[in-house]
Each structure stands twice: as structure tokens, then as C-alpha cells.
Chain A
Amino acid sequence: ELKVEQNPLFLSMQEGKNYTIYCNYSTTSDRLYWYRQDPGKSLESLFVLLSNGAVKQEGRLMASLDTKARLSTLHITAAVHDLSATYFCAVARSDMRFGAGTRLTVKP
């Protein structure tokens, strides 16, 4: 069964700092997705990574995929308060399985 593990599950950061969220998955897949969820809201797609070595960047967030290591990272650069949310990675085959999510809080 496909398993997706994220760490850390909780992350409290200071504004201006950098940090990385890790996503490991258990079976072969070359499609990895990152989503953002604000409290009580729906999930919003951030990145779609469709091949080994894929790297995508949007603002202060950068995602990468290493299919051989079955690892994706979401790097946060110079965090700002607006980035506070829960971030999910997900791996797709015939369905999409989500990690437990990383609840990020950015403090002044």
C-alpha cells in the first residue's frame, strides 16, 4: 500500500528564516504534488512535479522531486506570516494519497 510521510508535522518559524519540509513515499511514483490548506478552507494546488529532478518555484516556496530516493522537499525562503498554513504532499497512481500535513506557523 502506498504510504506518504511528511516531516515535520508541526513547524513554528520566525519571519525571515528558511526551512525545509520533507515528504517520503513508499512506492514508485513519478508524480508528486504539493497543496496548501488554510484553516477551515479547501486545498489549493501549489506544485505539480512530474519527473525525477523536477524543481518548481513560486515566490518564497520551492519544491523538488527525487524519484530514486522517493523524496520531495518543499523549501521555504525568508518566511513571511502569509505562509502560515498546512502544507500537504501527495503521491498519485490510480488515486492520490496525502501525507499527514505540516502545520506551519510563521511568527514575527
Chain B
Amino acid sequence: DSGVTQTPKHLITATGQRVTLRCSPRSGDLSVYWYQQSLDQGLQFLIHYYNGEERAKGNILERFSAQQFPDLHSELNLSSLELGDSALYFCASSSPGGVIITGELFFGEGSRLTVL
């Protein structure tokens, strides 16, 4: 158990809908990262938050947004869902080393999203 909690574990929804994925980082970790893993795209970095502020953005679509709350949990909002958004979405946290990563990321179990 990495200590990173993601909910829901599985989610099935229809095209055009909106979903919210939630992540609680390890106790004491200030950084939260979101990744999308699909069969044809590999592990794609979406966004990084550090202590409530956005620090880096990757290949995140405009239909997707994220935030990190004062209690450090984070949510990834996916809207106007398309079939191609079906993937495993991982959240990861890292030890409080500031913006620059030194230690490894600790990954949650992921949220598997299926868009029908």
C-alpha cells in the first residue's frame, strides 16, 4: 500500500458526460501528480500541483481540469467525455522536497474510466 488513495476505482459512463476523480496523497506529501495511462499512449503526464498551486502542465486536454485543495487532496475533472478518454488515471504524490522532485513518486491504485 503506497498510502495514496484514489476513488472511484472503476467508473463507467457515457460520451458527453462529466466525471470527477479524487486523490488523497500520502500523509505529509505536498505534491500531487496526475497521469493518464492508455494502451496506445502509454503513461502521459497531465498536471502537477504543489501545495495547492499548479506547477507543471503536460498533455492535458482543455476538457480536463484539476485542482488541489487546502487539505492537499486533489480532484481531476473530465468533461464532455469521448470514447478515447477511456483509460486508467493515476494519481501520485511525492515527499515534500519542494517543486523539484528528488524522491520517487508513490502511485495510487488508479481509477479505471470506461466511456461507452
Residue on B nearest A46 in the bound complex, by CB = B104
Return A25 CB to nearest CB of chain B, in Å: 14
Return A37 CB to nearest CB of chain B, in Å: 9
Contact surface of B with A, Cβ cutoff 8 Å: 2, 33, 35, 42-43, 45, 48, 55-56, 58, 90, 92, 99-110
Return A60 CB to nearest CB of chain B, in Å: 20
Question: Bound complex: CA of A45 vs CA of B102, how far in Å?
Answer: 13
A residues less than 8 Å from B92 (CB atoms): 43, 96
Question: Bound complex: CA of A88 vs CA of B44, how far in Å?
Answer: 12
Do most interface residues of chain A lie in helix, strand or loop, or is the interface mixed? strand
Question: Bound complex: CA of A101 vs CA of B56, how far in Å?
Answer: 22
Give residues 83-108 of A contacting B (CB, 8 Å). Answer: 88, 90, 92-101
B residues less than 8 Å from A41 (CB atoms): 109
A residues less than 8 Å from B35 (CB atoms): 98
Give residues 57-103 of A contacting B (CB, 8 Å). Answer: 88, 90, 92-101
Question: What are 29 residue pairs bridging A and B, where the CB atoms are less than 8 Å apart in the complex?
Answer: A31-B101, A35-B104, A42-B107, A42-B109, A42-B110, A43-B43, A43-B105, A45-B106, A88-B43, A90-B105, A92-B100, A92-B102, A94-B48, A94-B55, A94-B56, A94-B99, A94-B100, A95-B45, A95-B55, A95-B56, A95-B101, A96-B33, A96-B92, A98-B35, A98-B43, A98-B45, A99-B42, A100-B42, A101-B42
Count the A residues whose beta carbon is within 8 Å of the partner chain — how many? 22
Return B8 CB to nearest CB of chain A, in Å: 15
Return A48 CB to nearest CB of chain B, in Å: 5
Asked if A98 and B106 sit within 8 Å, CB to CB, the answer is no
What 9 A-B pairs come out closest when comparing CB atoms? A45-B104, A92-B101, A95-B56, A98-B43, A43-B107, A94-B56, A42-B107, A100-B42, A95-B48
